Structure 1
Amino acid sequence: MPDKNREDWDPRSDFVLSNQFSAYDKMRLRCPVAFSDYLGWSLFRYDDVVQALDDHRAFSSVVSSHLSVPSGMDPPQHTAYRRLVERHFEHGKVEAFEPRCRAISADLVSALERGEEIELVAQLARRFAIRIQCAFLGWSDSLHEPLLSWVRKNHEATLARDTGAMAAIALEFDGYISELLEARRQAGSAAPDDVTTSLLQEQVNDRRLSHEEIVSILRNWTVGELGTITACIGILAHHLAQNQELQQKLRENLSLLPAAIDEILRLQAPLISNRRVTTRTVEIGGRKIAAGERITLMWASANRDEAIFGDPDEVRLDRDPEQNLLYGRGIHVCPGAQLARLELRVLMEELLTQTRQIALAPTQQPVFATYPAGGFAALPLLVT
């Protein structure tokens, strides 16, 4: 056990928060398995993170007393719920969503001002995440503005680390979901034929899903989608604005976009970390960790590990996609990975085909998001 009065690092220090990726790169070399009061044990190396992901018996996903279906479950409980969730992301269903995704993307990109500085996070990234998620789940357009307001409040509370406000905001979101479900129950056979309605008919272990289970599933899908897709768009646009040669290469050959998107998001993670808890004493990275200890898997570091990827900042479009931990690994690999890839590819296709150049704004600097968020809080760009 570590000396609880002597931390290996401070995840909330100005040094770390001013440039998370540089700090994680240094920790990976200096102290790859590090203790802090804030995060417990943080794993920075690729192999150590993979060890924890692959051994779900020793590294449990049940990290909270709050219901989290299925990401906060372990087998055998996890298995039935995961199978249920995966049905909603089958290949045919995802492919059938592309025309709707294309229409939303084209509409939002066409609305961006040309030749003027824009704030990409507010004007495109958040709006796309909201509209695309509502469309996929079958939610009314009338929810766009309330959800945008909710995202802003959640973002402000997270930045302020106001736990009371964050709890109230979480309840507000659950209220939206409960209203949607109640309206569908009242409508009966006249309820819209969409993903949300179908969850009311789903069964697990020979019984219908409970209201709490459905709310948990929809919360996990939506909150995760709104945050990570928003972050992804900012990261991608910023990288292309900084790297004009790559931007031009992609404009000339859009077929390279899927590999480029995964590779750029490997460099700068949209999701910084994930949590586990040990169920027994384990040894990892040369350190012995007792049962019941908090573990933080640092995606943002593992995907930049020199031992796996060489120069972590080199963009290579020929990398083995199986090595990239962008969408996780093992039994908890993101079930919506194919949908997320489609959404990001289609939006970036529209952004590149409808514009001549994406450049950094000359008068304002980007504002990076701070832990636990990835991407940008604000991203001024010039689009022509």
Structure 2
Amino acid sequence: MSRSAPGAAPESVVPDLTDLDLFVRGFPYDAFARLREQAPVWWHEPTAHTPAGEGFWVVSRYRDVVGAGGDTATFSSDGTAVRDGGGTLIEDLPAGLAPGHMLNMTDPPRHPKLRRLLHASVAPRVLARIEDDLRERAVRIVDAAVAKGECDFLLDVAAELPLQAVAQLLGVPQQDRHRLFEWATATLDYADRDLGEVTELSRRALSEMQDYGRALLERKRADPGDDLMSVAATATIDDEPLADLDQRMVFSLLLAAGSETTRNAIAGGMLAFAECTGIWEDLHADRTLLAPAVEEILRWTSPTPYNRRTATADVELAGVRIRAGEKVTLWWASANRDAAVFPDPDTFDIRRTPNPHVAFGRGPHFCLGSVLARMEIRVVLEALLDRVAGFEVVGPVERVRSNKHTGIRRLPMRLEPR
């Protein structure tokens, strides 16, 4: 039986959110619409796919997602103070690994101290200095894709600029960026495994990525520059240098976040343009729509569909009692389709304003790279608008088998030069 409030959506009409095959067909927006209406805080019973056979709470309504996301005292990103494992995935990560050490899996007072160390390198005034370089890179990337005629838009365009940018910001040689891509993809991809499982491929990729990160950090300690890994290698918190594990977690997080989420927003945005007749022409005719178009792409694609928290105390949310130590999942993708906040939420509308989406989260854990992500999406769109008159999808769209990343694995497209 569901532990949600009376009138809760029966399990028969809500799919198993831990069955990753569900997400290969796209995010289950219809199921979340039912949840927002009938059971905005819903207990997901464990299934054969659920890690450790432990259920979790599903928070789907905008106001509840935002409220819980801003309450770090009650809804912990670490979680290991009240249970043996924690973190921001449905599956527990062991205490002493990422929880408490990776930026997005820490709580105050540790979290704001780590965040301040990295913020200076991705502040708007700093990123403004690399915008022209990103724009030139985007032009070269788009020109190469247009010259091919037919391309895999995900690999040839959407992934390439974020990958080049994250390599530059981390202080990684550009010739190594595709190795980083392969490692990040293997560690985040569930194509051949279920939640909580590892395969030889994912284990090897993680090991190679960690070895690379260690060697990179050693070089930065010996010869620091102005990149993010130099910051991690030489910074101190409370007059103490960052522990080796903390430094490696900075590398792992920034590599994954910097390459995965933005590429999925760009690819998903292009797919939306392809599916919505006339909108690309509207944007080409009126470039003032570019800024709201970027925001709508972020709302529409919601590259990170959920983050998990752990309740640190018994608490009531939307009339439902949550117990200390229980897992609570905040579904940003569902909040971004809440009709109470977004009129006609299932329409891709590049004129939508205001657009208070939560694609970057909300509260103290608001995405550190939001300014960079918006810039990357914008400069890619600019290059496409200048060089592409039309486009069409010319083969099956393959989506990522994951409930943690709303991603596209393959997007075959034909680009018509302008």
- Aligned residue number for residue 207 of structure 2: 171
Change (3 A) 1:381 1:139: same
1:55 and 1:116 mapped to 2: Cα distance? Answer: 49
Q: CA deviation at 1:360?
A: 2.3
Spell out structure 1 runs of 4+ moving beyond 4 A: 1-4, 6-9, 13-17, 155-159
Report 1:309-348 matches (<5 A).
309-314=342-347, 315=349, 317-321=351-355, 323-348=356-381
Range that drifts further, 72-81 or 115-124: 115-124
Residue 40 (structure 1) aligned with residue 72 (structure 2)? no
- Aligned residue number for residue 11 of structure 1: 17
Range that drifts further, 176-185 or 94-103: 176-185
DSSP 3-state at the match of 2:270:
helix
Residue 144 (structure 1) aligned with residue 177 (structure 2)? yes
Q: CA deviation at 1:206?
A: 1.2
CA contact (8 A) 2:143 2:387 kept: yes
CA contact (8 A) 2:235 2:242 kept: yes
Q: CA deviation at 1:325?
A: 0.7
Q: CA deviation at 1:18?
A: 2.8
Q: Which amino acid aligns with 1:216?
A: M
Q: CA deviation at 1:158?
A: 4.8
CA contact (8 A) 1:237 1:358 kept: no
TM-score (norm 2): 0.83
2:150 and 2:232 mapped to 1: Cα distance? Answer: 42
DSSP 3-state at the match of 2:159:
helix
- Aligned residue number for residue 92 of structure 2: none
CA contact (8 A) 1:9 1:35 kept: no
1:214 and 1:347 mapped to 2: Cα distance? Answer: 31
Change (3 A) 1:198 1:77: closer
DSSP 3-state at the match of 1:312:
coil
2:25 and 2:243 mapped to 1: Cα distance? Answer: 43
Range that drifts further, 349-358 or 249-258: 249-258
Aligned equivalent of 1:22, options 22, 25, 30? 30
Q: CA deviation at 1:72?
A: 1.0
CA contact (8 A) 1:269 1:375 kept: no
2:3 and 2:362 mapped to 1: Cα distance? Answer: 32
Identity between Structure 1 and Structure 2 (%):
27
Q: Which amino acid aligns with 1:369?
A: V
Q: CA deviation at 1:195?
A: 2.8
Q: Which amino acid aligns with 1:128?
A: L
CA contact (8 A) 2:146 2:388 kept: no
Aligned equivalent of 2:309, options 269, 276, 286? 276
1:40 and 1:47 mapped to 2: Cα distance? Answer: 19
Change (3 A) 1:110 1:180: same
Q: Which amino acid aligns with 1:33?
A: V
Q: CA deviation at 1:338?
A: 0.8
- Aligned residue number for residue 58 of structure 1: 74
- Aligned residue number for residue 369 of structure 1: 400
CA contact (8 A) 1:60 1:276 kept: yes
Report 1:227-306 matches (<5 A).
227-306=260-339
Range that drifts further, 134-143 or 292-301: 134-143
Q: Which runs of 5+ in 1 are unaligned?
A: none
Residue 117 (structure 1) aligned with residue 147 (structure 2)? no
CA contact (8 A) 1:235 1:268 kept: yes
Change (3 A) 1:35 1:47: same
CA contact (8 A) 2:400 2:407 kept: yes
1:96 and 1:365 mapped to 2: Cα distance? Answer: 39
- Aligned residue number for residue 340 of structure 2: 307
Aligned equivalent of 2:382, options 332, 349, 353? 349
Q: CA deviation at 1:149?
A: 2.7
- Aligned residue number for residue 81 of structure 2: none
2:110 and 2:184 mapped to 1: Cα distance? Answer: 31
Q: CA deviation at 1:229?
A: 1.2
DSSP 3-state at the match of 2:302:
coil
Aligned equivalent of 1:182, options 214, 218, 222? 218
Q: Which amino acid aligns with 2:235?
A: E
Q: CA deviation at 1:159?
A: 5.1
Q: Which runs of 5+ in 2 are unaligned?
A: 5-9, 79-85, 88-94
Which string of whole-angstrom CA distances, capped at 9 and with x for unpartnered residues, describes residues 117-149 of structure 1?
Answer: 321112222222221210222210221231233
Residue 69 (structure 1) aligned with residue 102 (structure 2)? yes
- Aligned residue number for residue 39 of structure 2: 31
Change (3 A) 1:375 1:97: same
2:289 and 2:33 mapped to 1: Cα distance? Answer: 28
DSSP 3-state at the match of 1:329:
coil
CA contact (8 A) 2:24 2:398 kept: no
1:271 and 1:203 mapped to 2: Cα distance? Answer: 30
Change (3 A) 1:234 1:284: same
1:185 and 1:16 mapped to 2: Cα distance? Answer: 42
2:396 and 2:182 mapped to 1: Cα distance? Answer: 24
Q: CA deviation at 1:15?
A: 5.5
Residue 379 (structure 1) aligned with residue 411 (structure 2)? yes
DSSP 3-state at the match of 2:392:
strand
Change (3 A) 1:203 1:279: same
Q: CA deviation at 1:16?
A: 6.0
Q: CA deviation at 1:153?
A: 2.9
CA contact (8 A) 2:154 2:408 kept: yes
